[in-house]
Amino acid sequence: MLEALELPREGVAVEVNRGIVPKRTHQEVLLSDGDEVEVVTFVGGG
């Protein structure tokens, strides 16, 4: 489960295999071996 990653409640967005996983569905998403998960946030930039 994506939940097992213990992501912060706000300030992150998640991609699994290059597809966005909407925040409201985070708890429902099941991960399989080999899935590529990206977790991003926002940082200083111009």
Q: What is the contact surface with another protein in residues (CB under 8 A)?
A: 5-8, 10-15, 18, 20, 22-23, 38-46
We find the least distance from the C-beta atom of residue 12 to another protein, in angstroms, to be 5
Give the CB-side neighbour count of residue 17, counting CA atoms within 13 A: 7
Nearest approach in angstroms of CB 30 to another protein is: 19
Of 34 and 44, nearer to another protein (C-beta) is 44
Cα separations (Å) of 35 from 23, 32, 40? 18, 6, 16
Supply the minimum distance, in Å, between the C-beta of residue 41 and another protein.
4
